[in-house]
């Protein structure tokens, strides 16, 4: 059994009505490990849905010492063959209902490589996660078993996860945030309720009630939608913890949900992470949320932040904005773009340059201000696309969901469900705030802002519309 599964851990299949715990859970994981151990050499690709078989395959791979890449089952069909060609996995688990690619044969629902010869992954390599969402040609993030285990323990510690906790699968399991919820709860012997419909599905909330879920994890879009749906935690007496990661949630919503949870004796945690850190790096404790509103929190146990200035030097001095650099035992081993690179050892040395811009305060709490690459230009003037989105939401014109992309010498902002006059008002507000002509801000209505499976905005899809 993998050390990730603590004594007393339970998996509840809300759809199938099956519960695995104790000896039965151990036997199911060992059976999955036995099946995977005999597959050809190489990493395994696991098309990972929110269901019990996917969870058992993941745990079985860890128990068998097989490096496993968790793949979105909704991955663009044209992209999967390219990934297979580059990484030549020993098998594609839960393969699509289609003819296998050259060099593979269909067996028991999987595509198994016909050749037994392949690149043996580094012995410390445990989990591979794509860097991008369901489109594109992603690199794979190489995570060691110790990085995954250490991060699960650190999250469990700061959230005070105990055996009595019950966490529903509110996020995809191939997404690092969703996977971390699974890992941190199983490690502490808690219960994970596997329910596939997600936060906006009726079946999800039925499962929350039926199984007494105690916590809910969500990304900013989920909280925007929960606000529209007038979420009331009093309707779910067992639910006492909310966590938020996957991007910066506007501060007024953080305050609103914090107030809702405090009203029922609950807690709200803001977290910060990246897939490259397995994935959490910081947590803002519930008891300091009001005091540190807007912060991403302090570094997890055994982790540390510095800020890289423009001159390349790093500092922890307060209020200096630069690239956020994280150090900790949960940092990835490195990236891989082809099979041969899976055999490499640790190339990151526990250091991650996040690509995020931010600063530390006097207490070492991190505040994220934007992304290095999320910069556009309006008539030659550099502007933060993240700041523009926030400015539109704060403009008081009635736009809550908005996504900005660069388009030459202007910026296009897609406003969900907005009328044409509302879009014009938003452009005028940006023009007045930044003292730039309104023609530099092309605010367009869109029925629904496209999302990745993780719930984050699919900016690549929006760029194709410009």
Q: Which residue has the tokens 């992603």?
A: 138
Report the pLDDT value the prediction gives residue 247, as an integer from 0 to 100. 86
Going by their DSSP bridges, the two strands 110-113 and 104-107 should be labelled as antiparallel
Report the pLDDT value the prediction gives residue 370, as an integer from 0 to 100. 82
Residue 179 and residue 198 in contact, taking contact as beta carbons nearer than 8 Å:
no
| DSSP letters for 107-160 | ETTEEEES-S--PPPPTTEEEEEESS-SSS---EEEEEHHHHHHHHHHHHHHHT
Report the pLDDT value the prediction gives residue 1, as an integer from 0 to 100. 65
Residue 444 and residue 416 in contact, taking contact as beta carbons nearer than 8 Å:
no
Tell me the mean pLDDT per 10 residues along the chain, length 466: 90 97 96 96 97 98 98 85 95 95 96 94 97 65 98 98 98 95 98 96 96 96 92 97 93 96 98 96 97 97 96 96 97 97 98 95 95 81 86 93 91 96 96 90 96 88 92
d(CA 312, CA 150): 29
CA 313 to mean position of chain CA atoms: 29
Domains annotated on the chain, with CATH: 1-371 (3.40.50.12780), 375-464 (3.30.300.30)
């Amino acid at each position: 059994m993998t050390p990730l599964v603590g004594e007393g851990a339970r998996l509840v299949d809300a759809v199938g009505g099956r519960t695995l715990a104790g000896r039965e859970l151990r036997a199911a994981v060992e059976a999955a490990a036995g099946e995977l151990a005999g597959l050809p050499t190489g990493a395994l690709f696991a098309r990972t849905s929110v269901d019990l078989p996917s969870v058992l395959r993941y745990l079985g791979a860890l128990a068998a010492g097989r490096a496993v890449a968790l793949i979105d089952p909704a991955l663009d069909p044209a992209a999967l063959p390219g990934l297979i060609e580059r990484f030549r996995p020993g098998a594609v688990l839960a393969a699509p209902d289609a003819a296998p690619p050259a060099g593979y044969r269909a067996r028991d629902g999987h595509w198994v490589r016909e050749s037994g010869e392949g690149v043996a992954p580094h012995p410390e390599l445990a989990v591979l996660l794509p860097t991008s969402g369901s489109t594109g040609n992603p690199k794979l993030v190489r995570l060691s078993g110790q990085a995954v285990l250490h991060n699960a323990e650190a999250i469990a510690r700061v959230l005070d996860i105990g055996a009595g906790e019950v966490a529903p699968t509110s996020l995809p399991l191939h997404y690092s945030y969703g996977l971390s919820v699974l890992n941190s709860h199983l490690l502490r012997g808690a219960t994970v309720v596997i329910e596939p419909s997600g936060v906006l599905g009726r079946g999800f909330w039925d499962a929350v009630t039926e199984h007494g879920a105690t916590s809910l994890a969500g990304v900013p879009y989920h909280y925007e939608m929960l606000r529209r749906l007038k979420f009331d935690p009093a309707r779910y007496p067992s639910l006492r913890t909310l966590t938020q990661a996957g991007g910066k949630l506007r501060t007024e919503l953080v305050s609103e949900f914090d107030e809702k949870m405090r009203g029922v004796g609950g807690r709200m945690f803001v977290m910060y992470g990246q897939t490259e850190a397995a994935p959490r790096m910081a947590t803002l404790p519930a008891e300091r949320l009001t005091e540190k509103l807007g912060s991403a929190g302090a570094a997890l146990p055994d982790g540390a932040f510095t800020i890289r200035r423009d001159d390349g030097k790093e500092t922890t001095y307060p209020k200096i904005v630069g690239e956020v650099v994280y150090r900790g035992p949960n940092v990835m081993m490195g990236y891989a773009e082809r099979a041969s690179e899976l055999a490499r050892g640790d190339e990151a040395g526990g250091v991650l340059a996040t690509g995020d811009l931010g600063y530390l305060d006097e207490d070492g709490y991190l505040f994220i201000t934007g992304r290095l690459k999320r910069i556009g230009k309006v008539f030659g003037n550099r502007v933060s696309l993240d700041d523009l989105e926030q400015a539109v939401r704060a403009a008081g014109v009635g736009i809550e969901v908005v996504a900005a992309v660069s388009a030459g010498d202007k910026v296009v902002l897609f406003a969900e469900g907005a009328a044409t006059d509302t879009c014009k008002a938003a452009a005028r507000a940006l023009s007045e705030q930044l003292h730039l002509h309104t023609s530099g801000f092309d605010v367009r209505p869109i029925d629904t802002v496209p999302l990745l499976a993780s719930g984050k905005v699919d900016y690549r899809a929006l760029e194709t519309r410009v």
